[in-house]
Amino acid sequence: MDFNNLQAKKENGIGWVIIHRPDKLNALNSETVRELKTAFSAFKEDAEVKAVILTGSGEKAFIAGADIKELSELGETEGRDYVLQGQAVTQLIENFPKPVIAAVNGFALGGGTEFALACHVRYASDNAKMGQPEVKLGLIPGFGGTQRLSRLVGKGMALELILSGRVIDSAEALRIGLVNRVFPQAELLAACEGLAREMMANSPVAMNLSIEAVNKGLDKTLPEGLAHEADLFGRACASEDSSEGTKAFLEKRKAAFSGK
């Protein structure tokens, strides 16, 4: 896949999506958002890709936010349409049927934090800086930050970050649960790859159903979420993967999952 602002590659079952706008600290202009949609859509359909890692090129930035030059030119209708396009991509990532890991390798501000929030797991480098500084521009988070940040770190912490526009370091991001783990910069990508490989050894069917159960469950009451979990558990039981996984355990061998 050839892109102007992304590098997308497949390596041993892992799809890498690397945002590459080095002169703009990987800020997301509309073209980059469109390219992200194309890359993730392609990896979704590609049976050889079992997990995806999203990161930024270079050692300074994951994504330094939405492109402020573009933001400066938006009116009401264009602004709404602009964020709807970004939100569509964050939803594609959030509901991706295979694990998506954010390798937050530097500045992840505004849209950068929001794209990281859409991923299933966030690992960060020790030099990562995260935040939702939109209010400093007279704007609000628009790629899901007001919704996903509060769901992940709680309403009080989300509002503190959003209303102050404060940029936090990796230690603080870890402390509040915004990222799962922190690594020295030089070890980040290997750690993400290691996590992807750990996940890829598991049943693709079960991982897909787990993602659905967790995501949909957050929009439901607890009894509704439990009922949905029971339905999905039934679907898992009917899969070839569960026959293989349980049989392999009983036969004391490693499971070989077909993903069916």
Whether 109 contacts 129, CB under 8 Å:
yes
Whether 149 contacts 113, CB under 8 Å:
yes
Task: Build a one-symbol-per-residue string for 15-44: x at contacts with ligand COA by CB under 6 A, - elsewhere.
Answer: ---------xx-x-----------------
Could you say which residues in the range 57-76 bind ligand COA, by CB under 6 A?
Answer: 64-69
Which helix or strand (DSSP H or E) is residue 17 part of? Answer: strand 14-19
The yes or no reply on residue 98 touching ligand COA (CB under 6 A) is no
Q: Which of 114, 134, 229, 241 binds ligand COA (CB under 6 A)?
A: 134
Q: What is the closest distance, in whole angstroms, from the C-beta atom of residue 127 to ligand COA in the complex? A: 12
Q: What is the closest distance, in whole angstroms, from the C-beta atom of residue 26 to ligand COA in the complex? A: 8
Taking contact as CB under 6 A, which single stretch among the options 79-87, 105-113, 195-203, 213-221 is the one that binds ligand COA? Answer: 105-113
Count residues contacting ligand COA (CB under 6 A)? 15
Whether 175 contacts 151, CB under 8 Å:
no
Half-sphere exposure of 172 (CA within 13 A, CB side): 11
Task: Identify which of residues 1 and 68 has a Cβ nearer to ligand COA in the complex.
Answer: 68
Q: Which of 102, 109, 119, 182 binds ligand COA (CB under 6 A)?
A: 109
Q: What is the closest distance, in whole angstroms, from the C-beta atom of residue 176 to ligand COA in the complex? A: 19
- CA dist 199 and 185 (Å) reads 22
Task: Identify which of residues 69 and 155 has a Cβ nearer to ligand COA in the complex.
Answer: 69
DSSP string covering 202-218: S-HHHHHHHHHHHHHHT
Q: What is the DSSP letter of 28?
A: B
Q: Find where tokens 């030059």 sit.
A: 69
The yes or no reply on residue 245 touching ligand COA (CB under 6 A) is no
Residues recognised as catalytic: 114, 134
The yes or no reply on residue 199 touching ligand COA (CB under 6 A) is no
Q: Find where tokens 């602004």 sit.
A: 79
Q: What is the closest distance, in whole angstroms, from the C-beta atom of residue 219 to ligand COA in the complex? A: 26
- CA dist 30 and 124 (Å) reads 25
Task: Identify which of residues 99 and 145 has a Cβ nearer to ligand COA in the complex.
Answer: 145
Q: Show the beta-strand stretches assigned E in 85-144.
A: 100-104, 107-109, 121-125, 129-131
Radius of gyration in angstroms for the set of CA atoms belonging to the chain, rounded to a whole number: 19
Task: Identify which of residues 33 and 206 has a Cβ nearer to ligand COA in the complex.
Answer: 33
- CA dist 52 and 17 (Å) reads 7
N- to C-terminal Cα distance for the chain?
Answer: 27
Taking contact as CB under 6 A, which single stretch among the options 45-53, 103-111, 150-158, 202-210 is the one that binds ligand COA? Answer: 103-111
The yes or no reply on residue 114 touching ligand COA (CB under 6 A) is no
Give me the residues that bind ligand COA (CB under 6 A), please.
24-25, 27, 64-69, 107, 109-110, 133-134, 137
